[in-house]
Structure 1
Amino acid sequence: MQAVLCGYYGQGNGGDEALLASLLQMLPESVTPLVLSGNPEQTHDRYRVAAVNRKSPLAVLQALRDSQVFIWGGGSLIQDVTSAMSPVYYAGVMTLAQRMGLKTIAWAQGVGPLQRSLTQWMAKQTLAGCDAISVRDRGSAALLTNWGIPFTLAPDPVWALESTPVDGLWNLPAPRVAVNLRSHPELTPPRLETLTQALITFQKATQACLLLVPFQATQDLAIAEAIQPQLPGVSHILRLDDPQQLKGVFRGVEMAIAMRFHGLIMAAAEGCRCFALSYDPKVSHLMQELSLPGCSLATIPDDPNVISQAWLELYANGEALSTDQIQFLISRALIHQDVLQRAIG
């Protein structure tokens, strides 16, 4: 049996690559994956699976003809905040798969925000036609409940992704603190300057080695490169393409300051103390569910000393999730694997 895996794959985003790695890890052994990717060669080389160009209509159509199952593979695919075309693409391919008679699964989805009535209608119609649905957050669950569409709720599957060690990480001076910032309209130049000054103060106080960890080079790398020369102590920019290694970074750090949703999940799953900088409802929901300290970018203090003091308090007195909490979340995340087993057989 062959399954087409459809997501934001091959686009250089560490979080979405982690979702693909998690899906491949959870896929039944009887299923042969075929990935729709923005970089098919890279996807094939990294995961040793077949891949075709997600933007080639002929390649996508042939992939569907040759397959029996179609899977939306995790993440916020059905939302119209970053792009109005995103839900059109994903709903369009899913609808085509349904009309061609494939078994269709919406897997580990974060549905919304959906601000346009057209995309709301498309999402509702497409999801209603799925054979199985799993979602990763209570907001998505509430939306599907309101639409009367059955689903399974479980934590993001990246909780259960197997991590691998990063060569040389343990040779860097301790203590180590990971930092992940991404470009976003709410991360204005004045706010970035405030965070940079807070990092300078924090590093002076702790003598920590700061690891700047871009999850997506096109959105994160320039910020890391702008911050690093201003830091007074030891720092490194870690560019990692392997999502399992990306998660493995957090094995070797004492604390993480992160904007990205999957950066926080990876850090928390590896027993790291976390401070969240929220730019999106999914990050805010994660903060609430895990009781993570943090703040939204929209309300971040103007005084860098206030921010650095919050980081120092977490560094000195904060606690990571307990081993029992982490194991519970990992076991719950494996419910997404059960959904695949039941739906595909």
Structure 2
Amino acid sequence: MAKNKIVLSGYYGFSNAGDEAMLYSILRSLTMTIDNPEITVISGHPEVTEQQFNVKAVSRFDGWGIIKAIWKSDILISGGGSLLQDVTSANSILYYMLIILIGVLMRKKVVLFAQGIGPVRYRVTRITLKHVLNHVDIITVRDKESKGFLTRLGVRTPIYHTADAVMLLPSVSKDTGRKILNAYGVPKDKKLIGISVRNWDGIEKWKDDFNRFVKKLLEDENLAIVFITMQNPDDAEAAGCIIQPDNRRVFLVRNVINVNELMSVIGNMDVLVGMRLHALIFASIMHVPTVGISYDPKIDNFLDSIHEEVACHISSFDVEKLYNKTCDLLKEPAGEHDWSAVEALRDRSQETIRLLKKLAIHRED
């Protein structure tokens, strides 16, 4: 049987737990649904990606290697995540558009996989993006705002509103996570508040407010705080600006990069307070109530998709609102939280895989 040769492009190989979770989820879904896939991942550290995921990999800085990989492929997948935006970097969107354009020019089947598109600030970039995306085969986006943006931009390629690739993952046992927490000395007899922070817009502007929020929580002797890092060392440094070293009920869990282990750790929390999108998504998969702090529209969009509201924005930190929402969720009787919107979103995430499988079968025919 002929192999389906697939190249996968994204922000992979940089030890970002969210992006590695998307890669893991996409690879898992491809191997489960597409016949005989042979997958090559474009990675920041290809040797690490090859070892961790048992796939071929090519360096994202190896232009000739990328061209050869796409030339030999049948399908180019761009995703998931926020690849096509120019807020974090003006060059990033140009890089990912170039990868897509190479696939288009080589007449490969090109798919955008559950991406969050935008913001795109510059007019010339928006015009280029429109023309490039009008030549791909399928676009799936993870939120309605991305679909609306592309529609207004004038993209005519079919656009499907599905869900973040990580929503394809199943929940996992909490046992491994509890063992990891035990190793860090996290108590079993207290309610656990998980916190995921990152440095954004100058942590000096809001660290004191966040510290007041943590101190207010710790007035309850029955609570412990667990800072969980999603990208090291960045998140650990951000947490270190907030944590008071003399407090014995505050813990920093770092260097857990395995997706299932990280989900298992988060599954042991009673509430997850998060800035990182995929910390919030992991919590939702594990049915842990979430409190979102927004620094980017993708946080607002995800919470809206599960019928939740952002507690506050990092630029207008509201200690009281954050504290009250966290306490309200802690007081919820066990088993009474409504998870129907999360499960509906998980069902919607399957549409991306169904479309990709249909495209692969059509290519073979």
CA separation of 1:260 and 1:320: change in aligned 2, threshold 3 A: farther
| Equivalent residue, structure 2, for 1:149 | 157
2:271 to 255, 276, 292: 255
User: In 1, Cα distance between the equivalents of 2:6 and 2:336?
Assistant: 38
CA positional deviation for 1:241: 1.1
User: What does residue 168 of structure 1 align with?
Assistant: 179
- Higher RCO, 1 vs 2 (CA within 8 Å, ≥6 residues apart): 1
1:92-241 alignment, distance < 5 Å: 92-146=98-152, 147=154, 148-164=156-172, 165-166=176-177, 168-169=179-180, 171=182, 172-173=186-187, 174-185=190-201, 188-230=203-245, 232-239=247-254, 240-241=256-257
Determine whether 1:292 maps to 2:308.
yes
Structure 1's 273 and 132: CA in aligned 2 closer, same or farther, altered over 3 A? Answer: same
Conserved in 1, the CA contact under 8 Å of 2:168 and 2:349?
yes
Counterpart-to-counterpart distance in 1, 2:321 and 2:80: 36
Corresponding residue for residue 19 of structure 2: 16
Q: Structure 2 vs 1, CA of residues 85 and 245 (structure 1 numbering), >3 Å: closer, same or farther?
A: same
The residue identity in structure 1 corresponding to 2:349 is A
Task: Tell me how far apart the structure 2 counterparts of residues 332 and 291 of structure 1 sit (CA, whole Å).
Answer: 15
Look up the match of 2:360.
Answer: 344
2:289 is matched with 273
SS of corresponding position for 2:194: strand
- AA matched with 2:209: T
Shift of 1:336: 1.4
- Does the 8 A contact of 2:86 with 2:93 survive in 1? yes
Distance in 1 (alpha carbons) for counterparts of 2:337 and 2:113: 26
The residue type paired with residue 85 of structure 1 is N
* Maintained 8 Å contact 1:203/1:233: no
* Structure-2 change in CA distance of 1:271 and 1:42 (3 Å): same
Q: 2:6 aligns with which of 3, 6, 18?
A: 3
> Which range moved further: 28-37 or 163-172?
163-172
- Determine the C-alpha separation between the residues in 2 that align with 1:206 and 1:338: 49
| Matches for 1:20-39 after TM superposition, within 5 Å | 20-27=23-30, 28-39=34-45
1:56 paired to 2:72: no
Provide the C-alpha distance between the structure 1 equivalents of 2:102 and 2:131, rounded to a whole number of angstroms: 13
2:351 is aligned to 335
CA 1:264–1:87 in structure 2 vs 1: closer, same or farther (change >3 Å)?
same
1:217 aligned counterpart, secondary structure: coil
**Cα distance in 2 for residues equivalent to 1:211 and 1:333:** 30
- What's the Cα RMSD here? 2.0
Q: Which AA in structure 2 matches 1:14? A: A
Specify the SS of the correspondent of 1:322.
coil
Residues 204 and 233 in structure 1, CA contact (< 8 A), matched pair in contact too: no
1:177, 1:33 → 2: CA distance? 39
Amino acid at match of 1:160: L
Q: Secondary structure at the match of 1:337?
A: helix
Q: Normalising to structure 2: TM-score of the pair?
A: 0.88
After TM superposition, the runs of 4+ consecutive aligned structure 1 residues lying more than 4 A away are: 318-321
Amino acid of the structure 2 residue aligned with 1:153:
H
Question: How far apart, CA to CA, are the structure 1 residues paired with 2:109 and 2:293?
Answer: 38
Contact 1:208 1:233 in 2 (8 A): no
Measure, in 2, the Cα distance between the counterparts of 1:268 and 1:22: 16
Aligned residues: 342
Aligned partner of residue 256 in structure 1, secondary structure:
strand
Q: Is the 8 A contact 1:14 1:216 kept in 2?
A: yes
Query: How many angstroms apart in 2 are the aligned matches of 1:8 and 1:137?
Result: 19
Q: Note the residue ranges of structure 1 that are not aligned, 5 or more in a row.
A: none
Deviation at 1:331, TM superposition (A): 1.5
Given that 1:207 and 1:233 are in contact with CA atoms closer than 8 Å, whether structure 2 keeps it comes out as no
Distance 2:42 2:104 in 1: 17
Whether the 8 Å CA contact 2:7–2:69 is kept in 1: the answer is: yes
State the SS of the aligned residue for 2:213: helix
What's the offset of the Cα at 1:21? 0.8
1:326 is displaced (CA, Å) by 3.3
Q: TM-score, normalised on structure 1?
A: 0.92
